[in-house]
Chain A
Amino acid sequence: MDAKDILGLPKTPLPITQEKKSRPQKDSQRKPDGISREVYALTGGLAPLMPSIDVSQLKRRPPSDEKITWQWLPFTSSARKDDLQLYHWARVVNGVPPTGDYSFAKYNKSVDVIRYTDEEYEKYLTDPTWTKEETDQLFDFCERFDLRFIIIADRFPTSRTVEELKDRYYSVSRAILIARAPSPGEVAGHPLVKEPYNVSQETERKRALSMVLSQTKHQERKDAEVIAEAKRIAESRMAAQGVEEPDLPVTSDIGPENAEKAIGHGDAISPSNVHVPSAAVAPSTSILADNTSTLASLRMLRVYLRTYALEQMVQAASSSAGLRTIKRVEQTLQDLGVNLKPKVPTKAVCAEHLELRKEILTLLNLQKQLQYKEAEGSSFRDGSYGDMPGTPKRSLRAADQDRTFVPDTISFGGERVGKREQKRKGPGRVSETPSSPAHKRPRKLKASDL
């Protein structure tokens, strides 16, 4: 710069050269696109100037003293029954072609289908429903198709079900094995002998399986509900049994003491015994079953607070619901102007509160069902998805009462709590792209259907 000053040259080129210098510098310091700055920094910042792996080292091969050529040579395979000679490229080392069998011949496995003689057939294997020709043909097919019964059934001239074919094959093989065996004990370990094929069981099993696979979603849900109920009833019975035990010692303590005196001995004990199991057996719904087991456990305490009892019952009623659903119930309660924990927890208030919570749970479940159904329907329709979220809103508003009762929350299934539900795809983002939840939900459903 000083030199130019001395020479009197203009300074204007300087800013341009400075720019050029700074730009390449900046470019190399800038992080590459498509990767966040922090992640890039993890790799040590700038890309290395020298590659860490020497590329020229990669494709080197070990120097070999053998002379390798590849030749187009004929070969035979032991897997073939004919002597067909086919050709392929073979790796010739120092003029010596490869020896040995064709390398893939070892994969030619087949099943040992037992063949019977005609005498054996006459002696052991006759069956009213099967002719000898059919049985012979069955065994031919079994050998030919390696016991692939579906294919055998398909190609079998007379129409027989897979189970019938299997039955015939296995029973014949079993009979032959037993007949040929020198003593029954020797063959007893053979799987064919140990576990005979059970036609009726198999038919039944396949029928049940096909029924399960062809169930509609509606049925699936019903089944799940029934199973859940059954589980709860079983659990409440167990809890009731647990309650019975302590009751028994209490009454029996008094029992022996009173035995000499009291006449109503049996009366005292039996009502307590009878009552608890009947309380457990009577409820037919899951909700009542939950209540009973909670009540039973509450009775075990000699003293408790009403609020504690309510908490236990609420927990029992919400046991099937996830945390998100519970939050939604609480949100709904708030929107309805109801205290989450009653300010005056009397017996009546607590009972009403519990019932209200259960009803809200039912309501939320119904909403979810409705959403699923609508999503299902809309995945087939090319309708305007924009309509969908709106319609329930409109219908709710139509019959609205004095209080504007959470139309948003109900119709969108918790749009207001969308923030909390952001992790889950769908309802939280209804307002932005109505189509996306509808798309995503059917896909999710299909995966879970299977």
Chain B
Amino acid sequence: MSFFEMRHVIVQFGGLCAVCDFSIALGAGELVGLIGPNGAGKTTVFNTITGFITPTEGDIFWQGQNIAAFPAHRVTASGIARTFQNIRLFGDMSVLENVMVSFHFSMESNFLLAMTGSSKHRGLEAEIREKSRRHLDELGLGHLASEKASTLAYGQQRRLEIARALATGPKLLLLDEPAAGMNPIETIELAALIRLIRDQYGVTVFLIEHDMKFVMGLCERIKVLDYGKSIAEGTPAEIQKDIKVIKAYLGSGYHAGG
């Protein structure tokens, strides 16, 4: 059995088939890309994996369970974290607090201990704070810890989203257009960061991206989606030569390859 597998997943919105019979298997430690023209259904695939949408049909196997019907918070607890295409930080909270939130679900305390300020609870809080600080340092955001999240620059916000997702302790990380809106230097740094996450944290990465140079340079395997259907799968070199992929992208004005 694969590390992670989606089998014949179908998602329908009214009459529209946003994802049609989608299957994919990911191996542990892989770095896989998901590409496709606008509106192809990529984000919907991620929403389905992470429990924000229940698929109309199909199964999603993860850690020996079918998680297709899990609510979002349970999916995260089971070890799959994600970022969002349109950044969704806790804007009015500090960078540090944003990361600390990720430790809440696994905290073993209760509200009475919190309200009475028991030393056990205070110890746990201090531990979370310390872990979050270290985490931010590792991802190069330590100097921003006390800033309000909404005041960060765009690239930093994307980075914080990744840091926050990573803090939930995932084994599989889904990144939805992490390079969107970044300048070339930030994009290079991001690629390095993603490699670091895979190599040092041992997290499997599945990412959506429109920046072809970025995807082709980073991912080991790529899946192409068009109108909800998978039209190709292979190494970057294979995908660049695939006639169906070129057609799909020409049709929507994109250029494959580069």
**A and B associate in one complex:** no
* B residues adjacent to A (C-beta < 8 A): none
* A residues adjacent to B (C-beta < 8 A): none
